[in-house]
Structure 1
Amino acid sequence: MPFDVDIQIAVEDQVLPDEAAFQRWVNTALSGRLEQAEVCIRIVSPEESRELNLTWRGQDKPTNVLSFPFEAPPGIETHLIGDLAICAKVVAAEAEEQQKQLAAHWAHMVIHGVLHLIGFDHINDDDAEAMEALEVSLLAQLDISNPYLSA
């Protein structure tokens, strides 16, 4: 498998996707974009998410997914593209609030995070439109409807 996915679960009592689902979502996001890659996905508590979000983004609240791209120092060969920190409780709460299937929302968060790891962003409107269109297309490959349409 050209894409290695390392899953770290730092929470208890959460309904989580299985490893095969995470692998499928990473494969979908990276297929045709990279030949090889390694991604670490850490499933975190709201407390850890809040701490990371405050430290790295200056926002004092937990969030659904944080992306930490990795750039190897010169002369170091690695396929690691970065880490995702996904807050299971935030993802579950958002899915319920937005009336989305939990697995579909997880897929969206993983794909969204992985796209950030490979350079996609949504800082300005044009970039946001391009990233969202790609997410919708990738999710459609998984038979998941457009997450940006209101329920």
Structure 2
Amino acid sequence: MSSLLRKPIKMTAKQLPPSKLEIDIQFASAAIEEKVFAIVSLAAIKKWVKAAVHLNGLITLRFVNAAEGKKLNFAFRSKDYATNVLTFPYELSKKTLTADIIFCLPVIQKEASEQSKSMQTHLAHLIIHGCLHAQGLDHESDKEAKKMEGREIALLTSLGFANPYAPI
């Protein structure tokens, strides 16, 4: 039956379908994929993203090596080193988000070790951090940083993680 011939269904607020956020996970290599899944499950990654993003759209998370991380950081930020996370928001409205978030696994591993944090804890923080950047939050000023860090702390706490900014 054609959708044009069906009677329209009136929906109340409680009956509206849930938002549709597509989460695409990519890996620069099979070795990186293996390392990521040794740390965390696909279900956990998606849970963290969905905790931070309540919009329709598409978020692509890509896990890369140091060479690709350095190349992207230089190409888009003119910084000649690999960084932990890069966020590329393409579309943001009150209802829709489209973004790519790049995670450099070697940098994240090094930081977790230096900060005496588990890889899972640090990765959860950076996924939340990247998702908030994709939604327009930033930490360029003290006021922006306080707002973003507060949101990160609240989200991570709701997911069972400690405050990532607490002194060790």
Tell me the TM-score normalized by structure 2. Answer: 0.80
After superposition, where does 1:1-151 map in structure 2 within 5 Å? 2-14=20-32, 15-16=35-36, 17-31=40-54, 34=55, 36-71=56-91, 79-151=96-168
Structure-2 residue corresponding to 1:75: none
Separation in 1 of the partners of 2:152 and 2:91? 23
Distance 1:133 1:56 in 2: 27
- Write out per-residue CA displacement over residues 36-82 of structure 1, whole angstroms, 9 at most, x where no aligned residue: 1210001111111111111111111001000000138xxxxx95521
Structure 1 stretches of 4+ with a deviation exceeding 6 A read none
Q: Name which structure has the greater RCO, CA cutoff 8 Å, separation 6+.
A: 1
Question: Offset of 1:22 from its aligned partner?
Answer: 1.4
Q: Conserved in 2, the CA contact under 8 Å of 1:121 and 1:131?
A: yes
- Identity percentage of aligned residues: 38
Q: Which consecutive unaligned segments of at least 5 residues does structure 2 have?
A: 1-18
Give the 3-state SS of the residue equivalent to 1:119 in structure 2.
coil
Structure 1 residues 30, 149: closer, same or farther in 2, change over 3 A?
A: same
Q: SS of the counterpart of 1:150?
A: coil
Q: TM-score w.r.t. structure 1 length?
A: 0.88
Taking only aligned residues, the RMSD between alpha carbons, in angstroms, comes to 1.7
Q: Which amino acid aligns with 2:111?
A: E
Rg comparison, structure with higher value? 2
Gaps of 5+ in 1: 73-77
Determine the C-alpha separation between the residues in 2 that align with 1:79 and 1:118. 10
